[in-house]
Chains A and B, each alone.
Chain A
Amino acid sequence: MSTVVTVVASIGPLAHLAGAGLLGVVSRVDFATFWACAVIVVVGAVGVVVSRNPVHAALMLVMTLFAVAVLFIEQHANFLAAVQVIVYAGAIVVLFLFVIMFLGVDRDEDVNQEPLRGQRILAPVLVVLGLAGVLVLGIGAHWAVGAPSVVGPARGQPGGDVAALGRAVFTVYLFPFEITAGLLVIAVVGAVVLARRPPTAGQDELSVGVPGDQVAGSDGGTAAGTAGEETPAGTDAHATDATGQPGPAGDVGVSPELAGSSEPQPVPQPEPHEVAP
């Protein structure tokens, strides 16, 4: 759901920009670039929602982010484009992929299961509301930030958009900027504090740790309970280890590649390395 909102939020302003671009004096190159990227953005966004495989969905998201970055460049927001690629495509989606690969949600999902009741009705409503909100904000930006844009048109400013943005962030908007930075630091410190184990904890992994560990541990137990069970012939379920024997852990919980080794299992597992030379 949040992905949908994110994607919609990234598409929303584009409709506004498209209007400005088509009405203004733009060259044919701009026109072609815009339409090519717009198609890629929409295809990627639809792909994020439609893909059954979470990794494919994440890749589609990267595609969308890239096309949006190109559109930013087309609007002379060069710095924004670079940051979009560095932060979103380079860091955030990589983190998504990390989580997807490690928590073993990289198998095709069962669409008939509904973790949230009523989400199918709620989703379109929220999408429409979000889209409307973004459009309203885009049309009447005065209402939100008190100015049609934060730094004004980048073109023609000395130093281009990078310098203009730098001046805005470190002069007019210094305090919001610094406060945001402080907030991020607090979030990082908080995450570290929450994830740190108590100093007295011994080797007992399953009793302490973040909730995710417990979930993974219990899943590992389930997997061990169903050891030897034939795994579904999905594209990513690999219960066969290097020896060619059926692996100890099923496709539940952690990623199958790591299930046999990374999580402490209640039942001793045959280690793939024992047979490796």
Chain B
Amino acid sequence: MSFDPLFVHGVHWPEVLIVVIRAVVAFAALMVAVMMMIWFERKIISDMQARVGPNRAGPFGLLQTLADGIKLFFKEDLIPDKSDRFVFKLAPYLSILPAIVAFAIVPVGGVMSVAGHRFDLQVADPPIGILLLLAMSSISVYGVMLAGWSSGSKYPLLGAVRASAQMISYEAAMGMSVIMVVLLAGTLSTRGIIDAQATTFFASWNLVRTGVVPFVIFLVAVTAETNRPPFDLVEADSELVGGFNTEYSSIRFALFYMAEFMSTITMSAVIVTLFLGGPDGPVPHVMVLDQLVPVAWFVGKTLLFLFAYVWFRAALPRLRYDQLMDLGWKVLIPLSLVWMLLVAGALIAGWWVVGLAGALVLGSVLLFRAIRVGKGRGGSSAFGDEIGAGRGRGPVGVASLPGRWTALSTAAAPATSLSGTGSPRGSSRAGGSGAGGSGAGGVER
């Protein structure tokens, strides 16, 4: 178990000062990073869409976010009459807090020594480490959920329900891919996790050591967790106006916006920590550079993922709600369970695991085949209409979605969103109301 070398000699005023400075610097850096990230995203998106993008405020439009922020500060702060005023005001802060707190556990660099004090370049290294990330991501549901509820109108509530169901569903897959990393590292501490990956460049990263699958699962789950496209059903503009933040304006809206980008940055940093060795990389043995180059490695790897997120947004169409839930519950969770067995087996049994893997692959292929055959028996299977609706996936596609949502009764909308809660009650309702099941089937046939 690794401890921050800062506290080896006990806690006195210099140590407290260093801790405070670390926290303030991390907070400021995160804020600036959010500003830059918004600009970065808008620029990249506009490049990909053959537009110019922001180019007025400052060089290359760099200050555009600042200008937007100032504008939002001076806009009128509207609170709807029907809202629950206290919760309405509380929700943006509940949304932004987890994103900030989760960043505290990310190791930004190696051990730094200033004036005789050696300390880790990370805000905190608690013994629970990565569990803090899971705790914070489960807390971040509250911001969205309460914002939607307290607004007191339909679309925000629907958006909030979708959001919370989505976030809860993908948390499971996310947690399980974290477990695999923890199994390999043997510790929950993020510092311990990057230390365990630091032996050789690339080959010792968890990306390779766990097999690429947990990395992919984590990437997808995190994208859903932060409500980024293509999983941004929370604010699906074409269906929900603005989603959970429809009723928000001025700086409260900006806080939600910032929270989204902040959690994107935090999660990218966490991916780097868990799977790409954090600040691990070739370092020149020169006085100051050996402390700064790891930070550069970390920032570079994080930028890679930030770019990937922007790319996702530009390239991928938004998933339909049932597709989203299918992906979470029927693909990611079983896959991560199976892979976790493999990783755990490999840890204790060595090459035996090859046989185990063979058996598992054979078994899952058979199971998959059986499910396909079962689906082929038609929509009136033992599971009711829902399977029939699932079959409509391919031909119905995204294109016919608006028609289905507006032309058919609106019963389809909540029914579909409820079916995603994964709760038995919700799914029974989605099948039972007939709109979700027969609606899709009707288009298909």
Interface residue ranges, A against B (CB under 8 Å): 53, 55-56, 59, 62, 78-79, 81-83, 85-86, 89-91, 94, 97-98, 101-102, 106, 158-163, 191-192, 194-197, 199, 201, 203, 205, 208-210, 212-213, 235-238, 240-242, 255, 257-258, 260-262, 264, 271-273, 276
Which of A161, A203, A212 has the most C-beta atoms of chain B within 10 angstroms of its own C-beta? A203
Known: A55-B149, A90-B138, A210-B428. 16 other contacts (CB 8 A): A55-B84, A56-B86, A78-B128, A79-B131, A90-B135, A94-B141, A158-B1, A194-B424, A199-B382, A205-B432, A209-B428, A238-B152, A242-B155, A258-B414, A261-B414, A273-B406
Q: Please state if B157 and A257 are interface contacts (CB–CB under 8 Å).
A: yes
Contact of A261 among B126, B411, B424, B425 (CB under 8 A): B411
> Are B381 and A199 in contact, with the CB atoms below 8 A?
yes
| Complex alpha-carbon distance, A130 and B362, angstroms | 54
- Cβ-defined contact, B433 with A205, below 8 A: yes
Q: Which 5 A-B pairs have the closest CB atoms?
A: A90-B138, A195-B424, A262-B414, A82-B131, A85-B135
**Known contacts A192-B424, A196-B428; A203 and B138 CB within 8 A of each other:** no
B145 in the interface (beta carbon within 8 A): yes
Chain B residues with Cβ below 8 Å from A56 are 86-87
Contacts of A196 in B (CB 8 A): 383-384, 424, 428
Is B161's CB within 8 Å of the partner chain A?
yes
Q: Name the residue on A nearest B424 (C-beta).
A: A195
Docked pose: A53 CA to B149 CA in angstroms: 13
Q: Answer yes or no: B410 CB below 8 A from chain A CBs.
A: yes
Contact of A203 among B84, B409, B424, B434 (CB under 8 A): B434
Contact of B145 among A97, A195, A205 (CB under 8 A): A97
B157–A86 contact, CB under 8 A? no
A160:B127 contact, CB within 8 angstroms:
yes
Given contacts A106-B149, A236-B84, contact A159 B142 (CB under 8 A): no
Are A205 and B410 neighbours in the complex by a CB distance under 8 Å? Answer: no
Q: Which residues of chain A are within 8 angstroms of B139 by Cβ–Cβ distance?
A: 85, 89-90
Contacting pair B427 A195 (CB below 8 A)? yes
Which residues from B are CB-within-8-Å of A159? 1, 187
**Interface size, chain B (Cβ < 8 Å):** 60
Give chain B residues whose Cβ lies under 8 Å from the Cβ of A210: 424-425, 428
Choose one: A79, A163, A192, A272; the contact of B410 (CB below 8 Å): A272
Residues of A within 8 A of B431 (CB): 197
Tell me, rounded to whole Å, the shortest Cβ–Cβ distance linking B379 to chain A.
11
What are 26 pairs between A and B in contact, CB < 8 Å?
A55-B146, A79-B131, A90-B141, A94-B138, A94-B168, A97-B146, A102-B161, A192-B424, A196-B383, A196-B424, A199-B381, A199-B383, A201-B432, A210-B428, A212-B425, A236-B152, A238-B152, A240-B82, A258-B157, A258-B414, A262-B414, A262-B433, A264-B411, A264-B434, A272-B154, A276-B406
Q: Which residue of B lies closest to A206 (CB)?
A: B432
Given contacts A94-B145, A208-B432, A212-B425, contact A59 B134 (CB under 8 A): no
Q: Which residues of chain A are within 8 angstroms of B168 by Cβ–Cβ distance?
A: 91, 94
Find the B residue at minimum CB distance from A247: B154
Cβ B87 vs Cβ A199 within 8 A: no
Q: Are the C-beta atoms of B145 and A197 separated by less than 8 Å? A: no
Find the A residue at minimum CB distance from B384: A197
For A240, what are the chain B residues with a Cβ–Cβ distance below 8 Å?
82
Q: Mark B380-421, 1 if CB is under 8 A from A, else 0.
A: 111110000000000000000000011001110111001001
Whether A191 pairs with B128 at a CB distance below 8 angstroms is: no
A238 in contact with B138 (CB, 8 Å): no
CB contacts under 8 Å to A, within B153-208, are 153-155, 157-158, 161, 164, 168, 171, 187-188
In whole angstroms, how far apart are the Cα atoms of A94 and B188 in the complex? 25
Q: For residue B413, which residues in chain A have a CB less than 8 angstroms away from its CB?
A: 261
Chain B residue at minimum C-beta to C-beta distance from A199: B382
Asked if residues A162 and B127 are in contact (CB atoms below 8 Å), the reply is yes
CB-CB under 8 A from A261, the residues of chain B are 154, 409-411, 413-414
CB neighbours (8 Å) of B380 from chain A are 199
**What A residues does B414 contact at CB under 8 A?**
258, 261-262
Q: How far is the CB of B435 from chain A (nearest CB, A)?
A: 9
A90 to B: closest C-beta gap in Å: 3
Query: What residues on B are CB-neighbors of A201 within 8 Å?
Result: 384, 432
- Distance (Å) between the CB of A56 and the closest chain B CB? 7
Closest to A87 in B: B138
Determine whether B132 belongs to the interface, using a CB cutoff of 8 Å to chain A: yes
Which residues of chain A are near B405, meaning CB under 8 Å?
273
Task: Decide: B138 and A89 in contact? CB cutoff 8 A.
Answer: yes
Q: Say whether A242 contacts B410, CB under 8 Å.
A: no
Contact of A94 with B128 in the complex, beta carbons under 8 Å: no
Inter-chain CA distance A50–B105, complex, in Å, is: 37
Contacting residues, chain A, for B409 (C-beta < 8 A): 261, 271
The CA of A132 and the CA of B164, in the complex, are separated in Å by: 38
List of A residues within 8 angstroms of B415 by Cβ: 262
**Once the chains bind, are A242 and B164 in contact (CB under 8 Å)?**
no
Cross-chain contact of A86 among B90, B131, B424 (Cβ < 8 A): B131
Whole-angstrom distance between the alpha carbons of A59 and B139 in the complex?
Answer: 12
Query: With a CB–CB cut-off of 8 A, which chain A residues contact B411?
Result: 261-262, 264
- Tell me the residues in window 228-266 of chain B with beta carbons closer than 8 Å to chain A beta carbons: none
**Which of chain B's residues have a CB closer than 8 A to the CB of A162?**
127-128, 188
B65 at the interface (CB under 8 A from A): no
Closest A residue to B156 by CB, please name it.
A257
Contacts of A94 in B (CB 8 A): 138, 141-142, 145, 164, 168
Q: How far does the alpha carbon of A160 sit from the alpha carbon of B87 in the complex, in Å?
A: 38
Contacts of B86 in A (CB 8 A): 56
Q: Is B382 a contact of A242 with CB atoms below 8 Å?
A: no
Instruction: Provide the bound-state CA to CA distance between A31 and B237, in Å.
Output: 50
Supposing A91-B138, A162-B188 touch, asked if A213 and B149 sit within 8 A by C-beta, the answer is no
Task: Decide yes or no whether B429 CB sits under 8 A from chain A.
Answer: yes
Q: A195-B424, A205-B433, A213-B432 are in contact. Are A241 and B154 (CB under 8 A)?
A: yes
